[in-house]
């Protein structure tokens, strides 16, 4: 039986990203990757921390705003999720990233609808 590719081993990508960060290779893309991996593992607190850093490093990074909103929503921090998505919508609009803008608008509408039914 062949050994699985390193990326297929659970946590390998996360460990590699953490090593890069420890080596001083910080940046919005790395923080986005870390946030994404932590969110996949269910660690919303770590995901939020890394994604907040990603958008601090690059406020125009609409994908990071979108994922930050998802992480906050998963952590049941809906007010903060709405703020993140609205920031992301503005960032996406400035960049002309219509797809990301539309996706976040849908997330905002869904959350508003969900709240109105509670």
What is the Cα 56 distance to its own chain's centre?
13
Q: Domains in the chain and their CATH numbers?
A: 6-116 (1.25.40.10)
Q: Both tokens of residue 8? A: 């297929």
Q: What is the pLDDT of residue 118?
A: 80
Q: What is the pTM of this model?
A: 0.87
Using the predicted structure, report yes or no on whether residue 3 has a pLDDT greater than 80.
no
pLDDT, tens only, 63-77: 999 999 999 999 999
Query: CA angle, 47 as apex, 106 and 19 as ends, to 5°?
Result: 135
Q: How far apart are CA 100 and CA 106, in angstroms?
A: 10
Evaluate whether 55 touches 80 at the Cβ level (below 8 Å). Answer: no
């Amino acid at each position: 039986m062949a050994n699985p590719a390193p990326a297929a081993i659970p946590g390998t990508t996360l460990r590699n990203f953490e090593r890069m960060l420890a080596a001083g290779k910080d940046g919005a893309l790395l923080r986005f990757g870390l946030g994404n991996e932590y969110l996949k593992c269910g660690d919303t607190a770590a995901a939020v921390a890394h994604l907040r850093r990603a958008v601090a490093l690059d406020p125009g990074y609409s994908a990071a705003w979108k994922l930050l909103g998802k992480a906050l929503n998963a952590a049941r921090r809906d007010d903060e999720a709405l703020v993140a998505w609205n920031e992301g919508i503005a960032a996406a609009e400035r960049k002309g990233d219509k797809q990301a803008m539309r996706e976040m608008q849908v997330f905002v509408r869904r959350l508003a609808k969900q709240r109105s039914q509670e």
